Structure 1
């Protein structure tokens, strides 16, 4: 069942993109797209605040999640998956192909689109934080106001995390920008952006509810994201290893909350019926078709064949080394995450368990984590929610936090990694055994790839573990794809270039080294 929050997303905030010099008037778009109401007229009671807050959720949906045509640069696809080692791209992959090959430049349109979209969304969320926080007690009770501001701070953190991960050296906008006079800002040090994100989450925690949330921000979501950010701070570019204990503490709170648990069957985690299950710590709502909130999960990562027959257009194929990392005979994640069949010739419901249907050549295997029903009319408008943080992710992050302190034990491994492997159908011989700190890290990184593929975290994981250059330079697949980044990648490409269009608009921006 879809979340109540989706009923609000038909009405959302429309704030101009400050970077593109478009209008900066503050307006609210109601269900009638031709009717505009200014925020001061809207923010007079808790109902107006609720509607305004849903604009912040919409901003995250339209920037971070793998949405359709309304999002020209979904962060989870562009950053987290395309330029990692889960997929490869064919020659007809457009600018995604350039991202995969590490051929982007300051003039690459997709990179500029991403910058504009993320900052436009960030400004919308800043408006929510600032304006709801300024509401008076006679307009909204303080507890509810504090909760709404806390939710918006979490959502703001998802945008800041995307920005600092992608470009590293970015302007830190802490408040709503309402004037073109305010766009010539300088870049902040990455540490300043990370410290601001930590501060936002810590200040939000006391005011958030403790339940699963059903698509809304909760204490568990904030602690999980806090732990993830602390761990990212232990790697490049900050290398702040003192954050391992803080990550451990935040993640342990999620595990001890009693709110979350693994579902017994891996495949059902990604069913439409389980989008807000107890395994979902925070999931970004998407809905479709023809509701204006659809995504591309289920057919961007979908088997060969038409959308109507449960397939997808798939502008990417599976990286061979990723497929080979699975125990093909036993790991149910292999047959659930990778499509070796053609949807036009096979019933999607039986393709998982029918080896006779696995007739597609390895070079053109595609993803299949979100199984689309057949027939369907999803096209670029899929109803699958995007799982931003799952409980499985929390378990693996917790093991990583302990390993970073050289405190990992076999008991913790059994309760985290081996729980996931057991669910995946692996045998006792396949369980992780405690080893050296380096060997443990290798196992954890590999497990994250197999468990969390296509969920948008692989590039951050590789960077944090110090394995990005090795992994990207090791892609030698060949075949019917656009080539391999091994001949293209240089160390400075661990981050994206500042778009040339933005540097022309803001002379205070400094280009990232190497570009």
Structure 2
């Protein structure tokens, strides 16, 4: 019972931390048995193995294989890219904005994030305490920088989702004194920035193959600064700070756009020049797989490359694409996987039919047939170069400094690569600041769909409420529309009642 309560208060004792591999592109170690941290952290090799636990902690909650992945559930289900049917369980409640403080998914995500955070804090604290005779300074500082990047990812998810959260800066190893009060959003963001500033100073500027790098840290720092320009902080001075970080990434020459948009999501080409950081997965049958191929997938049997049936395409999102935009064919499935291959589903109009009700959100195209189900080999992109380009345009526009030249380098370069016909997907032209913002936001939706950033984008641009209220899709493929249920306080999630009962220092978010 003590262990259950302890996990419910958002932490986990170091003695039960398990270490598992996070990517086939990172470390080969995949330890499954317990090793005392004191016995492990005696040299650089042990510290590297301990760092794997931090990567695994991020994998566990950001894109976990069960129902609680943050990018999917916070970032996509509660926005306007997909709709959820009546049999969608908690996914339906997230989509409809009917969450309560007793919701099981909200509780599990809170618990999992703080458990993951404590595992990462353990790496920072314990590797940081290693002596020069145990590990040389250069690998020590690199390991700490990677862990601090991962910690920033978790804290960014926490403050984005609940806004008013406890800020846990060090490992918790005792069940005593767990009544930690909430920090202000400003305090949490300041800690995230501190971690990312330290990470970018230490890490190399390179495509890291699944490991954190300077480019990944600067891109995430730019994203964090931009989020601070919106609700609840509304700090316009952060546009310039974001611009500076993102420009360094662009000017580094390390990253670039992949020529073919569909190739980005081919599991044989995952660590490409467009990926600044992705969360590694490997499957099937290795206990390291992803469920992207089935969570987002066409109608039909999952063993034929179909989806689970709990996520359908928002028809208005589908209509936002030019008909000759390859992203439309890649991101929306109109075929039945039982009858057509992924290639036929993309390019053969005969496979599409005329009934748009069963259209599915799609992006990672499982082959036909397959035995993936929720154990596919697809990595989950976290930040890619296309995102950097769009954020850079946003940062300049926020300062009133966006130019046509920058639009051509950013938005229009993305449109250039997705045209199936020379006259398709018209270029963006410089307009007013508000017109530019609307066009950049729309392009983010088309380009980054299903990658988990849509809700943060809508909140940051100040249009979350109006967007949710505008969702209007009828038929069996939706449990209803969220607008009638939406209240402005639902821009954030409720703090679980079980946490407040265990930690009286917590206060419920307003409105719940």
Q: TM-score, normalised by structure 2?
A: 0.95
- Number of residue pairs the alignment of both structures matches: 497
The Cα shift of 1:182 comes to: 3.4
Aligned partners of 1:168, 1:23: CA distance in 2, in Å?
Answer: 22
The 5-angstrom pairing of residues 58-457 of structure 1 reads 58-65=56-63, 67-69=64-66, 72-328=67-323, 330-359=324-353, 361-425=355-419, 427=423, 430-457=426-453
**Root mean square deviation of aligned Cα:** 1.7
In the superposition, relative to structure 1, how do residues 73 and 430 fare at CA in structure 2: closer, same or farther (>3 Å)?
same
> What residue is the counterpart of 1:43 in the other structure?
41
Choose which of 19, 22, 38 in structure 1 pairs with 2:8. Answer: 19
Choose which of 472, 481, 484 in structure 1 pairs with 2:481. Answer: 484
CA contact (8 A) 2:226 2:395 kept: yes
In the superposition, relative to structure 1, how do residues 234 and 504 fare at CA in structure 2: closer, same or farther (>3 Å)?
same
Aligned partners of 1:504, 1:411: CA distance in 2, in Å?
Answer: 55
Give secondary structure in 1 for the equivalent of 2:276: strand
Which segments of structure 1 move beyond 2 Å, counting only runs of 4 or more?
Answer: 14-33, 426-429
Aligned partners of 1:92, 1:51: CA distance in 2, in Å?
Answer: 42
In the superposition, relative to structure 1, how do residues 252 and 359 fare at CA in structure 2: closer, same or farther (>3 Å)?
same
Aligned partners of 2:344, 2:194: CA distance in 1, in Å?
Answer: 48
CA contact (8 A) 1:106 1:498 kept: yes
**Gaps in structure 2 of 5+ consecutive residues:** 20-29
Give secondary structure in 2 for the equivalent of 1:443: helix
In the superposition, relative to structure 1, how do residues 47 and 212 fare at CA in structure 2: closer, same or farther (>3 Å)?
same
1:413-461 deviation digits (Å, cap 9, x = unpaired): 0000000011110637711000000000000000000000000000000
The Cα shift of 1:493 comes to: 0.1
CA contact (8 A) 1:340 1:362 kept: yes
The 10-residue stretch of structure 1 (276-285 or 20-29) with the greater mean CA deviation from structure 2: 20-29
Aligned partners of 1:332, 1:16: CA distance in 2, in Å?
Answer: 49
> What residue is the counterpart of 1:11 in the other structure?
none
> What residue is the counterpart of 1:3 in the other structure?
none
The Cα shift of 1:265 comes to: 0.6
Choose which of 485, 496, 499 in structure 1 pairs with 2:493. Answer: 496
The 10-residue stretch of structure 1 (353-362 or 223-232) with the greater mean CA deviation from structure 2: 353-362
CA contact (8 A) 2:54 2:123 kept: yes
The Cα shift of 1:19 comes to: 3.2
1:312-344 deviation digits (Å, cap 9, x = unpaired): 21311111111111112x111001000000010
Aligned partners of 2:229, 2:470: CA distance in 1, in Å?
Answer: 24
The Cα shift of 1:25 comes to: 4.7
Aligned partners of 2:505, 2:253: CA distance in 1, in Å?
Answer: 48
CA contact (8 A) 1:28 1:39 kept: no
Q: TM-score, normalised by structure 1?
A: 0.94
The Cα shift of 1:28 comes to: 5.2
1:54-105 deviation digits (Å, cap 9, x = unpaired): 100000011102x323xx4110111000100000000110101000000000
The 10-residue stretch of structure 1 (290-299 or 90-99) with the greater mean CA deviation from structure 2: 290-299
In the superposition, relative to structure 1, how do residues 503 and 308 fare at CA in structure 2: closer, same or farther (>3 Å)?
same
In the superposition, relative to structure 1, how do residues 249 and 23 fare at CA in structure 2: closer, same or farther (>3 Å)?
closer
Aligned partners of 1:22, 1:152: CA distance in 2, in Å?
Answer: 17
CA contact (8 A) 1:17 1:119 kept: no
The Cα shift of 1:53 comes to: 0.2
CA contact (8 A) 2:8 2:499 kept: yes
Choose which of 436, 457, 462 in structure 1 pairs with 2:458. Answer: 462
